[in-house]
Amino acid sequence: MNIPKSKNPRVVIIGGGFGGISLVKSLKNKPIQIVLIDKHNYHTFQPLLYQVSTSGLEPDSIAYPLRKIFKNYRDFHFRMASVEAILAETKEINTSIGIISYDYLVIASGSKTNFFGNLDIEQNSMPMKTVPQALNIRSLVLENFEKAVVCEDANQRKSLMSFVIAGAGPTGVELAGALAEFKNGIIKKDYPNLNAQEMTIHLIEGESRVLPPMSLFASKKAERFLKKMGVAIHLNTFVKNYDGKTVTTNSNLCFETETFIWSAGVTGAAVQGLAVESFTERGNKYRVDSFNKVIGYEAIYAIGDIAQMKTETYPKGHPMLAQPAIQQGKNLGKNLLLILKNKQPNQFSYIDKGSMATIGRNKAVADYKKLHFGGFFAWFLWMFVHLWFLVGFRNRIVTFFNWTYNYINFDQAARLIIRPYIKKK
Amino acid sequence: MNIPKSKNPRVVIIGGGFGGISLVKSLKNKPIQIVLIDKHNYHTFQPLLYQVSTSGLEPDSIAYPLRKIFKNYRDFHFRMASVEAILAETKEINTSIGIISYDYLVIASGSKTNFFGNLDIEQNSMPMKTVPQALNIRSLVLENFEKAVVCEDANQRKSLMSFVIAGAGPTGVELAGALAEFKNGIIKKDYPNLNAQEMTIHLIEGESRVLPPMSLFASKKAERFLKKMGVAIHLNTFVKNYDGKTVTTNSNLCFETETFIWSAGVTGAAVQGLAVESFTERGNKYRVDSFNKVIGYEAIYAIGDIAQMKTETYPKGHPMLAQPAIQQGKNLGKNLLLILKNKQPNQFSYIDKGSMATIGRNKAVADYKKLHFGGFFAWFLWMFVHLWFLVGFRNRIVTFFNWTYNYINFDQAARLIIRPYIKKK
């Protein structure tokens, strides 16, 4: 592979997510050759994907070209490719564009949707982990409304206007809230021939509360917000199957729907090639030590969603969120520089910066240590934090403008079916 | 088809382009039932499509949901559908969502790319008449650069970095200019491993000058701008074929390229069903009288690109531009109201508002009657006019911001390969 020769040791990073870009930033213009590999040519700001699904934002507001982030970095090389295997013995990886050798390898490949082996659900449901998937949901939602307008069969119309979401984590809750705003705002304005009351939104959760990873306060508050907005919540309920027409559950509840969104699970997107001992029991994550070094290897590290670092506070590993990935990337960057100077690296220590979820206009919940917020203040905080973490000045301004516009106009403006909904084959 | 019953006569409009939306606007809240039909759920501002192709703007800046434009219109009904045939005898049209009857029918179906029957070119070249096509060009361009980065074969790399455009009308010229800015700005910044000098842009034109419909002044000026920016111009040259690898011409010129963009011709997108006498010789446009009424029919009209109205000044019909469509839509709207009051309608009379094309930063040309501008002033005028005609406050602000940002930063920021390039089957 024609990566320019360099006198610097080469660090190859798999994945340009939160972990990967945090690591690259911490190695800026240091005596290291950085090779960043990603399937896409952009970084995705996943926390706002649901707004792309629901016509609130365009992809370019939440996706940022990786080359552009690092355009002034010395000895930095981006390669758009997928990684097929790690060849640890020869310190190489095999990719869609050929073999790439490394001195240090960092796996930051993140997570993917977990269908728990249910092929029907995998085939018929809509996941929402990538920009194309989010746009596919947008197209399906808008196409279903267009079909509903001309549908004379009442049952079929109800099915077209019924939206069922599995999993009431932040993604499911935020999506349900945004769809409820669609119902209460857009349908009445844009679809005079539809009866907005026929639109239903169902949120199904296996645990006994929504937002299970958050505080009890946040769960209660979010549940109240959602109910007020017209979302039907089904707790302690597990989805059994979805054949493309009907969602069945472990109770006698079932739902006729053309749109079933699956946000009930994620799993590590591991790469082939390392020894069994390096993986967690389920084989989907890498076991790492307190320096993020993969167990059993000297020059291979893993950070973020794909890494499991067991600690006293987090016996099952850190939560699969942006913050652990960002902090691990930063710590690993510093450590690599220390190692190159033959100094002792620092153990990773996670600083919990809290968590939040937004349900709708003026409605959000936030936990920060022992503090819990709900309502307008949490919503304002949510907006501020998300704008702050968006990559790039341009994205922040455009997103801020779109949010302000949508807020004033009770609108989600990007209601475009650019490419028709694509069904999985 | 379940369009609500109304006491008002029904006007069915095929196509939500410039002509269609101008017509609907002129019928706002009048005693007329309006049914607007379009394949897409949005209006496309075609003059700025080339900026979507070249990463300057996102689709939502130049596309606008049709339902949103007309959300406060009484007795207005949008239907997303394709029209299969006109059944003039029964005053109906057959569509993908069923039969729709009309009292008056207006065909505003616009134009489509003309490949002049060359199947190889149709198969292998990239047209740019719709948003998905523009996004497909963007993906191909960006993917080719990523391939070039890892390509060790010099000829193959040259082919990946060679861009050939057929047709030096406004679309071809604007696209060539934007690609030249890509070469001079983005490549150097984003692709340190590429040699920007290897990127070539070829513009092929059958006539003896670029921008043939404009003034000689504009042609000369545009040609100078393009050459200065590094575009190779080939006049009096006709493309013979493109097999996916090599563009051949009527001279001994040929070009190895992975990206061949076809902007060398458009033709009317006629609908099936009317009598042969209603069509122009080539069968691609409707012959209309000076009221835009289709020859041979009483209640069927055609406006914009699809209509051919021969006048003294325009013996071959009006130019296929936004302005004739907008003006005909407006005039026809007034006429339909007059006809319903049993009054005499007004003949259409075209007011030429001039024409313009932009080549790049501070570089545009504009003709207005006997006045000809070139350079910064024309560029400023071009921006102002295009912002003015964009639909919607939000689109104007976001576009204005993106242009300002791109101008200050010498940048085209939306360099995202959201969906990979899709080859025609």
DSSP string, A123-144: HHSB--SSHHHHHHHHHHHHHH
**What is the average per-residue pLDDT within A196-212?**
97
Interface contact A67-B419, CB threshold 8 A? no
Q: Are B408 and B183 in contact (CB under 8 A)?
A: no
Q: Which residues contact A16 (CB under 8 A, 6 or more apart)?
A: A36, A38, A40, A42, A43, A66, A78
Q: Detail the DSSP E strand segments found in A120-230.
A: 162-166, 200-204
The one-letter code for the residue type at B107 is I
Q: Tell me if B162 sits within 8 A of B200, measured CB to CB.
A: yes
3-state secondary structure of B167: coil
Q: What is the pLDDT of residue B77?
A: 97
Judging by beta carbons within 10 Å of its beta carbon (0-12, 13-18, 19+), is residue B53 exposed, middle or buried?
buried
Contacts of residue B63 in chain A, CB cutoff 8 Å?
416, 418
Residue A149 · residue A187 · CB < 8 Å = no
Residue of B nearest to A402 (CA): B394
A100: closest chain B residue by CA: B150
- CB contact under 8 Å between A68 and B150, yes or no, is no
- Mutation for testing the A interface, residue in B130, B411, B416, B417 having most A CBs under 10 Å: B416
The pLDDT of residue B425 is 64
Q: Any residues with CB less than 8 A from the CB of A105 and at least 6 apart, and which?
A: A11, A12, A14, A86, A91, A93, A299, A300, A301
Instruction: Identify the residue with better confidence: A4 or B412.
Output: A4
Q: What is the mean pLDDT of residues B181-197?
A: 92
> Of B65, B79, B142, which is closest to A41 when you measure between CB atoms?
B142
Phi, psi of A262, deg, nearest 5: -105, 105
Give the number of C-alpha atoms closer than 13 A to the C-alpha of residue B219, restricted to the C-beta side: 15
Run of H or E residues at A25: helix A18-26
Chain A residues within an 8 Å CB radius of B1: 150
Q: Give A214-256 pLDDT, tens digit per residue.
A: 999 999 999 999 999 999 999 999 999 999 999 999 999 999 9
Question: What does the pLDDT read at residue A1?
Answer: 62
What is the pLDDT, as a whole number, of residue B22?
Answer: 97
Residue B36 in this model has a pLDDT that exceeds 70: yes
Reported as a single tens digit per residue, the pLDDT across A49-75 is: 999 999 999 998 899 999 999 998 999
CATH architecture observed for domain B10-39+81-113+267-340: 3-Layer(bba) Sandwich (3.50)
Query: How many of the other CB atoms lie within 10 Å of CB of A240?
Result: 14
Cα B325 to Cα B328: distance, rounded to the nearest angstrom: 5
d(CA A80, CA A98): 12
Tokens of A71: 């355009």
What backbone torsions phi and psi does residue B261 show, to the nearest 5 degrees?
-100, 130
pLDDT at A425: 64
pLDDT for B414 equals 80
| Nearest residue in chain A measured CA to CA from B420 | A40
Query: Where does the pLDDT of residue A401 fall: very low under 50, low under 70, confident under 90, or very high at 90 and above?
Result: confident
Quick check: B2 contacting A, CB < 8 Å? yes
* Type of residue numbered A234: H
Q: How confident is the model at residue B1 (pLDDT cuts 50, 70, 90)?
A: low
Sheet with A98-101: strands ordered across: A83-87, A92-95, A98-101
Look-up of token digits 């096509």:
B133
DSSP tally for chain A: helices H, then strands E: 13, 24
- In this complex, which of B192, B398, B419 lies closest to A419 when CB atoms are compared? B419
B300-302 and A98-101 beta bridge pairing: unpaired
Interface test with B, best of A415, A421, A422 (most B CBs within 10 A): A415
- pLDDT tens sequence across A83-109: 999 999 999 999 999 999 999 999 999
Which pLDDT does position A283 carry in this prediction?
84
> How far apart are alpha carbons B331 and B89 in whole angstroms?
26
> Tokens at residue A251, please?
């109770």
Q: Answer yes or no: do B413 and A67 touch at CB < 8 A.
A: no
CA B73 to chain centre: 27
- Structure-model confidence comparison of residues A401 and B158, the more confident one: B158
Cβ-contact B292, B332 below 8 angstroms? yes
Tokens representing B41 are: 């759920």
Higher pLDDT, A387 or B216: B216
Count of beta carbons in the 10 Å neighbourhood of residue A59: 24
Phi then psi for residue B155, to 5 deg, are -65, -45
Nearest CB to B415: which of A65, A143, A418?
A65
CB atoms within 10 A of CB A4: 9
Residue found by looking up tokens 């990979």 in the block: B420
Q: Is A422 left (phi over 0), alpha (psi -120 to 50) or beta?
A: beta
Domain with CATH 3.50.50.60 in chain A: 10-39+81-113+267-340
User: How far is residue B5's CA from residue B101's CA, in Å, rounded to a whole number?
Assistant: 12
CATH 3.50.50.100 positions along chain A are 119-264+361-409
ipTM associated with this complex? 0.91
- 189-228 of B, contacting A, C-beta below 8 A: 189-193
Using the Cβ of B39 and the Cβ atoms of chain A, whether some distance falls under 8 Å is answered with no
Percent of chain B with pLDDT over 90: 84
- B413: contact with A, CB 8 A cutoff: yes
Would you call A193 and B77 a contact, using CB atoms and an 8 Å cutoff? Answer: yes
pLDDT tens per residue across span B70-121: 998 999 999 999 999 999 999 999 999 999 999 999 999 999 999 999 999 9
Q: Which two tokens stand for residue B126?
A: 């990239």
**CATH architecture of structural domain B119-264+361-409:** 3-Layer(bba) Sandwich (3.50)
Q: Residue B405 burial by CB count (10 A; 0-12/13-18/19+): exposed, middle or buried?
A: middle
Residue A343: CB atoms within 10 Å: 10
Mean pLDDT value of segment B371-398: 88
Answer whether residue A173 shows pLDDT above 80.
yes
Cβ neighbors of A240 (< 8 A, separation 6 or more) are: A248, A249, A250
Nearest to A414 by CA among A171, A135, A161: A135
What pLDDT was estimated at residue A282?
85
Q: Do B190 and A67 touch (CB under 8 A)?
A: yes
DSSP E strands: which ranges in B161-207?
162-166, 200-204
| Bridge partners of residue A201, in order along the sequence | A163, A231
Which H or E element spans position A270?
A: none
- Alpha-carbon distance A394 to B159, whole Å? 33
Are A193 and B4 within 8 A, CB to CB? yes
pLDDT at B283: 84
Q: Are B320 and B305 a contacting pair, CB within 8 Å?
A: yes
- State whether residue A244 sits within 8 Å of chain B by CB: no
Task: Inform me whether the C-beta atom of residue A417 falls under 8 Å from chain B C-beta atoms.
Answer: yes
Look at residue A273 and tell me whether its pLDDT is greater than 80. Answer: yes
Q: How far apart, in whole angstroms, are the C-alpha atoms of residue A371 and residue A350?
A: 19
Q: Flag whether residue B387 sits within 8 Å of chain A, measured between CB atoms.
A: no
Q: Which of A67, A96, A151, A401 to mutate to test the interface with B (most CBs of B within 10 A)?
A: A67
Reported as a single tens digit per residue, the pLDDT across B224-279 is 999 999 999 999 999 999 999 999 999 999 999 999 999 999 999 999 999 999 99
For residue B144, the surrounding DSSP H or E stretch is helix B131-149
Residue B197: count of CB within 10 angstroms of its CB? 10
Chain A touched by B252 (CB under 8 Å): no
Helix (H) or strand (E) holding B409: helix B393-409
| B63 lies within 8 A of chain A by CB | yes
For residues A376 and B421, which has the higher predicted lDDT (pLDDT)?
A: A376
Q: Which of B59, B97, B401 sits opposite A416 (nearest CB)?
A: B59
Question: How many Å apart are CA B138 and CA B421, to the nearest integer?
Answer: 8
What mean pLDDT is predicted for residues B115-129? 95
- Percentage of chain A surpassing pLDDT 90? 84
Residue from B41, B44, B53 whose CB has the most chain A CBs within 10 Å, to mutate: B41
Whether residue B62 has pLDDT greater than 70: yes
A414 touches chain B (CB under 8 A): yes
| Alpha-carbon distance B313 to nearest alpha carbon in chain A (angstroms) | 39
**Size of the A and B interface in Cβ pairs below 8 Å:** 133
B40 touches chain A (CB under 8 A): yes
Contacts of A6 in chain B (CB under 8 A): none
B chain contacts of residue A149, beta-carbon cutoff 8 Å: 79
- Please judge whether A417 and B42 are an interchain contact, meaning their C-beta atoms are less than 8 angstroms apart: yes
Q: How does DSSP assign B318-372, residue by residue?
A: S-SSHHHHHHHHHHHHHHHHHHHTTPPPPPP------EEEEEETTEEEEEETTEE
Identify the sign of the CA torsion B126, B130, B136, B142. Answer: positive
> Who among B97, B143, B192 is closest to A150 (CB)?
B97
Q: Which tops the pLDDT comparison, A320 or A413?
A: A320
Tell me the average pLDDT of chain B.
94
Nearest-angstrom CA–CA distance, A203 and A391: 31
- pLDDT over 70 for what percent of chain B? 100
Among B49-53, B82-86, B407-411, the minimum mean pLDDT is found in B407-411
Cβ of B132 and A419 within 8 Å? yes
Q: State the pLDDT at residue A104.
A: 98
Residues of B in contact with A1 (CB under 8 A): 150
Interface of B with A in 119-158 (CB under 8 A): 131-132, 135, 142-143, 146, 149-150, 152
Are the beta carbons of B60 and A417 separated by less than 8 Å? no
Q: Would the CB atoms of A418 and B132 count as touching at under 8 Å?
A: yes
Q: Is A77 on the interface with B (CB under 8 A)?
A: yes
Residue A2 pLDDT exceeds 80: no
H or E element, residue A233? strand A231-234
Task: State CA B396 to chain mean position distance.
Answer: 19
Report phi then psi at A35, rounded to 5.
Answer: -120, 115
Tokens 């005898």 belong to residue = B89
- Report how far residue B98's alpha carbon sits from residue B10's, in angstroms, rounded to the nearest whole number: 16
Q: Are A262 and A113 in contact (CB under 8 A)?
A: yes
CB atoms within 10 A of CB B49: 25
User: ∠ at Cα B269 (B267, B274), nearest 5°?
Assistant: 120
Nearest to A59 among B131, B190, B416 (CB): B416
- The C-alpha atoms of residue B160 and residue B148 are separated, in whole angstroms, by 6
pLDDT band of residue A391 (cuts 50, 70, 90) is confident
* A153 Cβ contact partners less than 8 Å away, ≥ 6 residues apart: none
Cα of A71 to nearest chain B Cα, Å? 5
Do residue B416 and residue A190 have CB atoms under 8 angstroms apart? no
A-chain residues near B4 (CB < 8 A): 193
- Distance from B193 to chain A by nearest Cα, in Å? 8
Contact of A71 with chain B, judged by CB distance below 8 Å, is answered with: yes
Query: What integer is the mean pLDDT of A173-187?
Result: 94
Question: Which member of A2, A42, A413 has the closest CB to residue B394?
Answer: A413
If DSSP codes are grouped into helix, strand and coil, which group holds residue A24?
helix
Please report which confidence band the pLDDT of residue A407 belongs to, taking 50, 70 and 90 as the band edges: confident
Question: Are residues B59 and A58, on separate chains, in Cβ contact within 8 Å?
Answer: yes
Contacts of A31 (CB under 8 A, 6+ apart): A8, A9, A340
A99 touches chain B (CB under 8 A): no
3-state secondary structure of B93: strand
- For residue B225, the distance in angstroms to the closest alpha carbon of chain A comes to 28
